[in-house]
Structure 1
């Protein structure tokens, strides 16, 4: 019975986060050092707004599918936005890279874009890497629950503070 409640809770939280952040998969784990010191290997990323491609700007950190090379997901910072033949195109680079690394320079189009990084949970991804479902999902759900709780508590505290004034 307890396991069923946990599983249902994980599923509900997963769908709630998907709905709130407007992406199919809101969770990613950083797997390379290309964004050090901002993002480190093992950090969990919570990604939002997969429909905001037209509002992106230079400096945003985005998550995208590598246009050439299969199902590889990359997280980099936008360094250039241009218009090529009437289509918005983005160029990215990892913060830790001195320049664009050969094999990673490709235009990012809207079809490749997943979303922008909304939150980062440091190092938890290192633990999840070694855990199999459903344990890793339970941990993720717990983290999300804590994030939601702290955000709600913070907003309630701010409201209470305004009422007291």
Structure 2
């Protein structure tokens, strides 16, 4: 069956509308075919993609730094679900970990079993100034219905000259990151709050400009 002239015009207009896009001025313009883009247009699109990738990578780095210091702060403030971190200031436990390392401890509770060979962080029972030591347990002593530990630095020739009560134990050694303690000391003494504030503001700015604002534009259009 042959189509009438009216129906052919209608089908032709529908077919042409599929390949045109309408702008605010009411004019129709033929849609761009990606395969027909020139070298400059392809290069600009590539630059945009790389710029977006670089922006989000920078945001990711700032968020990781912010989260890292947040975990350190929460652990130092005594939040039980977060680990405790300490900076090694002497070489008494070398080669297990050296001066300047950042050690990560699990918070100690009385329900945790103690055994020789385990490394623990404890308050020095001799010095009354809150000095913490991280040494290895070499013996467990039961005295007057209390538990004491005998400790020794791995690099030291002799054990410590005192017994430490179980109540003085703060944490159980988990792992150490070499040299990171030096970085933490530098940042905490000089740039900690500034670094955290900058990281937070940069993350908020990027989320507002790269996520929320484009989403609003798409909704309005």
2:140 maps to: 81
Change beyond 3 A, Cα 1:42–1:51? same
Q: In the alignment, what sits opposite 2:192?
A: 135
**Do the aligned partners of 2:80 and 2:107 also contact (CA within 8 Å) in 1?**
no
Displacement after TM superposition at 1:34 (Å): 0.5
| 1:26-67 deviations in Å (ceiling 9; x for gaps) | 110111110000010011011103204650100000000101
Cα deviation for residue 119 of structure 1 reads: 2.0
Aligned residues: 130
Is 1:35 the counterpart of 2:93? The answer is yes
Answer yes or no: is the 8 Å Cα contact 1:53–1:113 preserved in 2.
no
Report how far residue 130 of structure 1 moved. 2.7
The alignment yields a C-alpha RMSD, in angstroms, of 3.2
Runs of at least 5 residues in structure 1 that lack an aligned partner in the other structure: 140-165
The residue aligned with 1:90 is 149
Q: 1:109 aligns with which of 154, 165, 170?
A: 165
- Note if 1:50 corresponds to 2:111: no
Give per-residue Cα distances to partners, 1:84-132, cap 9 Å, x unaligned: 11111101000001112xxx42111122110111121111112223332
Residue 155 (structure 1) aligns with: none
More helix by proportion, 1 or 2?
Answer: 2
**Structure with more relative contact order (C-alpha pairs < 8 Å, separation 6 or more):** 1
- Classify 1:78/1:53 alpha carbon distance in 2 versus 1 (closer, same or farther; 3 Å): farther
1:66 to 1:138, Cα distance in 2 relative to 1, 3 A: farther
C-alpha displacement at 1:82, in angstroms? 1.3
Unmatched tracts of structure 2, length 5 or more: 1-58, 197-221
1:99 to 144, 150, 158: 158
